[in-house]
Chains A and B, each alone.
Chain A
Amino acid sequence: MKTCLVVDDSSVVRKIARRILEELGFSVVEAEDGEQALELCTKSLPDAILLDWNMPVMDGYDFLGRLRRMPGGETPKVVFCTTENDIDHISRALNAGANEYIMKPFDKEIVAAKFQEVGLIQALSAESA
């Protein structure tokens, strides 16, 4: 089973994300900020990381930079999931090594589409029009 680390300071968002990701077949680990997330990553690297931007202690952008400099830190697929919905933030995230970007609010369909985009899940079976 693939693992996904959900990093968000809102317990509500973590709960929603957990439900969606479990439905998509992931085993989910949670962190409340970048520092906690980094700690978890030094123990074991997940396959995917769903990452908020604004968080106390260490924000998502800072976390991403540190993750990508860790040994093996280039392997997890990182999908930002944030209310920072402007081109500047998106471009910065991509330059820092993010693989995809979700603009909140999000739902299962968007998470599935984005995870499919980066090859974390297979295409959903052909649906009709």
Chain B
Amino acid sequence: MNQPDYEFLRKLLRDKSGLDLSADKQYLIESRLLPLARKAGLASISDLVQKLKDGSSTLISQVVEAMTTNETFFFRDKVPFDHFRDVIMPELLKARANRKSIRIWCAACSTGQEPYSLAMSLKEMSGALSGWRVEIVATDLSQEVLEKSKAGLYSQFEVQRGLPIQLLVKYFKQAGELWQINSDVRGMVQHRQLNLLHDFSQLGTFDVVFCRNVLIYFDQDTKINIFGRLAKLMEPDGFLVLGAAETVVGLTDVFKPLADRRGLYRPSGVASTAKAPLPGARVAVGN
């Protein structure tokens, strides 16, 4: 792949999805985009780039989606879900005792393992939640993973990564070779397509935000901007949960880490300066 083509794709990906590729990721682009180019009847990355320059928005989305990493699994890293059960929910049950409603956002839900892990956790504490309204909003940039999440169908391999066997027996049904999460659990999760680079204030206010293993792909300014806008849409006593390799430390003071609770953050009350999406993102076409 020639340098101008690489730079074009790098910029396109950064503008559309926030993906921050270093200068030496040609092989990654080739391995993911060459199959896509061929499927579209194009012979090379150069032809693909030409087509993209002509401004085909479906092709742009396909390229962006092909470059995302959708790796996920049930109860990934375990600890955040222990925090959810042992810290977040007990505290919210007290703090929201009058309102009796809680809103949770999975901000990059991929194929659904994360929101469904939360939904199953809630089912497991349903005794304490009777009379409560708990909403889980699951969003992702990629339409393809959202469709899979909505269907709630998983392979035998997927249901054996992180999902305790008791929960498989309790909340799944066999569907041929696959396993489908029960409709009452599926019904607890609302799906929407959403690009984190764009304005998301219309989603309303949340008590809990799981934003895990997505900011890791973004550059520093984008991370800071998203933290700022996340802080704005969260309840002052809400909880933010990040991935194992992510932190706010050194980037922003709109959230503060909870002592002894790895990956768990709360709004600090400090006002953010970044309240709108970064300029480039607002005029984005396609996604």
Contacts and interface: CB of A to CB of B under 8 A. Distances in A.
B168 interface: yes
B17 to A, nearest CB: 14
A42 B213 CA distance: 47
A128 B160 contact: no
Interface SS majority for chain B: loop
A113 B161 contact: yes
B160 A129 contact: no
Given A86-B174, A87-B174, A113-B160, A129 B165 contact: no
A100 to B, nearest CB: 5
Given A94-B169, A128-B244, A103 B156 contact: yes
Contacts of A114: 160, 165
B156 A90 contact: no
Nearest to B162: A113
Interface string A105-118: 01001100110110
A85 B178 CA distance: 11
Contact of B165 (A100, A106, A127): A100
Interface residues of B, number: 24
A123 interface: yes
Contacts of A116: 78
Interface residues of A, number: 22
B277 interface: no
A117 B213 contact: no
B71 interface: yes
B286 interface: no
Contact of B156 (A85, A87, A128): A85
A101 B159 CA distance: 11
Contacts of B214: 129
Nearest to B215: A129
Nearest to B72: A129
A91 B169 contact: yes
Contact of B164 (A109, A117, A128): A117
A86 B157 CA distance: 14
Interface in B230-247: 243-245
B166 interface: yes
A110 B245 contact: no
B121 to A, nearest CB: 15
Contact of B168 (A90, A106, A129): A90
Given A86-B174, A110-B161, A129 B77 contact: no
B69 interface: yes
A126 interface: yes
Nearest to B213: A129
Contacts of B162: 113
B160 A87 contact: no
Contacts of B174: 86-87
Given A86-B174, A94-B166, A129 B245 contact: yes
Given A87-B169, A110-B157, A126 B164 contact: no
Contacts of B166: 94
B166 to A, nearest CB: 7
Given A103-B156, A110-B161, A129 B78 contact: no
Nearest to A98: B165
